[in-house]
Structure 1
Amino acid sequence: MIRAEVVTADGRVVVASADEHPDLFWAIRGGSGNFGIVTSLEFRLYSVPRVHAGIVYFGIDRAAETLKFYRDWSATIPNELSTAVVLTKIPATEAFPAELHGTRALAIKVTYAGEADLAEHVLKPLFEVAGPRLAGELRTIPFGESAMGGTAARYLDLVDTLPDDLIEEFAQLTGDSATTVEIRHWGGAMAHPGPGAGPVGHRGATYSVIIDQEVPQLADVLRTTGRTFVNFLADPGRADSAYSEADLNRLRAVKRAYDPDNFFHLNHNIRPA
């Protein structure tokens, strides 16, 4: 994003960019709807005509081995590759054979912004550890048709590593057809923002762990960090946890400048300093 038109709490219409109202420009790129109503946006576009993407389902019996391998393998992959490992069940849709509907499985979600042969080469070791494929495929498709998708976040935490005991606990859920666990690798270019980047919090996290239900037996091993991304935050009362302390202090100062009475408060609220 390079420019935005914003209606502020006092009714002014201002343009926020690197050159005009730069403090507001910084804040709205990660600070949610706390500073005004954005009525137009201007973006710089980058050409990504096609990606190699999809979801491949494997048997669940090698879940622990696959996650342990994923932990090390994901540290070596290029920035062009986005992946997640999901313990879930095969959907009951026409895309999959009827005999597999509802089968507990390990899914690997992939989006690679590059050539198919390079993607397959990088993914081959992970797929070999996961074992025989049950269903699904990767295809080269227009970028606009691709979607990593996501898991409804009843629980979400950002973690820097995946310890063996946590992986083993995840693997114990293999017989539970109701619980979905998604481990998504972050890092990459997102972890190395350029100068002037907005206040997107906790960019350095290596993984997100998302669980779509409460699982009491995991409480002792999740070792919650309390960090989150505002995009995944269901509880508006925890908005502060989505930012670093320095960014939060700066956001509160910008809030004071543009909305000192906290008019925009029905959101993931940042209180004025």
Structure 2
Amino acid sequence: MGGPSVQTLRDQVKGQVVTPDDAGYDQARAVYNAMIDRRPAVVVRCTGVDDVRAAVDYARENGLDLAVRGGSHSVPGFGTVDGGVVADLSGMRAVTVDPGRGTARAEGGATWGDFNAATGAHGLATTGGIISTTGVGGLTLGGGIGYLARGMGLSCDNLVSAEVVLADGRIVTADEKQHEDLFWALRGGGGNFGAVTAFEFRLGPVAEIYGGPMFFELADARELLRFFRDFIADAPEQYGGFPAFQIAPPLPFIPEDRHGEPFLAVVSCWTGDHAEGERVVDRIRAVAQPVAQMVGPMPYAALNSAFDALVPPGLQHYWKANFVDELTDDIIDAHLRFGPKVPVVNSTVHIYPINGACHRISPDATAFAYRQANFATVIAGMWPDPADNDANTAWVRDYYAATAPLSEEGGYVNFMAGDDQDRVKANYGGNYARLVEVKRAYDPANLFHLNQNIRP
């Protein structure tokens, strides 16, 4: 006997079920990375956990590939699939805050913009990403690097519990007391173990921060990168900034005659006393004079969304990444060969510090294994014109080829490309064998395989 029909699926779910014959199909199948053009058989626009379970059951019972889409930011396009089922959680974006407990619950389709708006109203936050349109779910399941990581740990370090639809259709809650092995794996193991429909986070007091971007001449880049390497080793954990190679966008605070030129940028985020934060940022300014800057007090949510306009939906994306134990002079030399060649204003290279609170978690306490690494580097190729795909992809690959031998074997799964499947074992280091065991327990048939896949 065959599995349930599309009509049966429509009868089961409250949300919209979209097939290739339906109006709005092209909109329903579109994802953030315009390089990805896939045609699913069914897109289920889920309104709640029961809709997600129905989509999972439909895929399993019909032997179809299943993609789970949250914020839709997956660079490899894991949120869609040819001929299979997409469980689209983008309609599930509610965030509820319990200020008394210092926690927040976010549905599986919420973005960090949704999250920060809800928690910021109470002067609270947890570690999110750098772009506010990023999904809470995808970022957290891969670990969760962001401005607050040095002070608060990764997003996954602040996860209290998760509601999960398993491959067999069961709905379970995973936390420190129930399904503990699943809870361990969800904190860094990606979307391998189920469809997470809600995340509960621990929050900390973060309201108005002191920070923003500074743009420096490329001639000062070497000295600044060397300074940052030494500065961040023991900087106060209220500081969460990072250096980047970035073409100057046409913003009012940047001299008009410098728009479109490449710079070394340093983006700062200080969560403590503003006067003290200014003194800390002045240490960077003492190394070199900024060409332009927009640094001052602002809501944390404002900084978290400051670069959204540079990365709208519909760009072409190709990324590469590595963890780095130390920013050696050799790897700085490699960055200086390729970083200034950043091709367009949308593309960038970020060197995120992940020490501080991130190092106080044991490498085997969560699936995120690289607790000794001091930096997570991403070469984020993003550009609007498909005609530039070959040239800009080559820039990313050449840059990666120059830096990878000087970096750790593994990288951050959220920054991995679609052609990085052979790196999955290295990305998890000593945690890989245990992740395989959890995968066998919860998804032995590998229904959840559209990800940086841990094969059972």
- TM value normalised by structure 1: 0.87
Check the 8 A contact 2:363/2:370 in 1, yes or no: no
Tell which deviates more after alignment, 205-214 or 194-203: 194-203
CA gap 1:169/1:16 in 2 versus in 1, 3 angstroms = closer
Residues 67-86 of structure 1 aligned to structure 2 (within 5 Å): 67-86=225-244
Higher relative contact order (CA 8 A, sep 6+): 1
1:196-235 CA deviation, whole Å, 9 max, x = no partner? 8421121221122333433648745652422111111123
Tell which deviates more after alignment, 165-174 or 197-206: 165-174
For 2:439, which of 239, 244, 255 is the aligned residue? Answer: 255
The structural deviation recorded for 1:55 is: 0.4
CA gap 1:81/1:25 in 2 versus in 1, 3 angstroms = same
Asked if residue 171 in structure 1 is aligned to residue 336 in structure 2, the reply is yes
Asked if residue 226 in structure 1 is aligned to residue 409 in structure 2, the reply is yes
Residue 190 of structure 1 is matched in structure 2 by 358
CA gap 1:138/1:197 in 2 versus in 1, 3 angstroms = farther
Residues 95-244 of structure 1 aligned to structure 2 (within 5 Å): 95-129=253-287, 131-147=288-304, 154-173=319-338, 176=341, 178=343, 180-193=348-361, 197-211=365-379, 212=381, 213-214=395-396, 216=398, 219=401, 222-223=404-405, 224-235=407-418, 237=421, 238-244=423-429
Secondary structure of 1:111 counterpart? strand
1:6-64 CA deviation, whole Å, 9 max, x = no partner? 11111112121111111111111211111112222222322211211210112221111
Distance in 2 separating the partners of 1:264 and 1:24: 14
Check the 8 A contact 1:4/1:41 in 2, yes or no: yes
Residues 32-51 of structure 1 aligned to structure 2 (within 5 Å): 32-51=190-209
**Which amino acid in 2 is paired with 1:232?**
F
Check the 8 A contact 1:57/1:134 in 2, yes or no: yes
CA gap 1:160/1:84 in 2 versus in 1, 3 angstroms = same
**Which amino acid in 2 is paired with 1:182?**
H
**Which amino acid in 2 is paired with 1:159?**
V
Distance in 2 separating the partners of 1:51 and 1:127: 18
CA gap 1:181/1:249 in 2 versus in 1, 3 angstroms = same
Distance in 2 separating the partners of 1:153 and 1:115: 38
Runs of at least 5 residues in structure 2 that lack an aligned partner in the other structure? 1-158, 312-316, 382-394
Check the 8 A contact 2:165/2:194 in 1, yes or no: yes
**Which amino acid in 1 is paired with 2:263?**
A
Residue 266 of structure 1 is matched in structure 2 by 450
Distance in 2 separating the partners of 1:36 and 1:259: 8
The structural deviation recorded for 1:88 is: 2.5
Distance in 1 separating the partners of 2:333 and 2:365: 37
Distance in 2 separating the partners of 1:268 and 1:56: 34
- Aligned identity (percent) is 34
Check the 8 A contact 2:321/2:412 in 1, yes or no: no
Check the 8 A contact 1:186/1:208 in 2, yes or no: yes
1:148-177 CA deviation, whole Å, 9 max, x = no partner? 869976332211122223323433457636
Distance in 2 separating the partners of 1:59 and 1:35: 46
The structural deviation recorded for 1:120 is: 1.9
Distance in 2 separating the partners of 1:217 and 1:51: 33
CA gap 1:219/1:25 in 2 versus in 1, 3 angstroms = closer
Distance in 2 separating the partners of 1:96 and 1:225: 36
Tell which deviates more after alignment, 86-95 or 26-35: 86-95
1:62-90 CA deviation, whole Å, 9 max, x = no partner? 11111122221221201221121123221
Distance in 2 separating the partners of 1:165 and 1:30: 29
For 1:57, which of 215, 239, 248 is the aligned residue? Answer: 215
Runs of at least 5 residues in structure 1 that lack an aligned partner in the other structure? none
Secondary structure of 1:133 counterpart? coil
Secondary structure of 2:291 counterpart? strand
RMSD between superposed Cα atoms in Å: 2.6
- TM value normalised by structure 2: 0.54
For 1:21, which of 179, 182, 196 is the aligned residue? Answer: 179
Check the 8 A contact 1:56/1:109 in 2, yes or no: yes
Check the 8 A contact 1:166/1:222 in 2, yes or no: no
Tell which deviates more after alignment, 115-124 or 86-95: 86-95
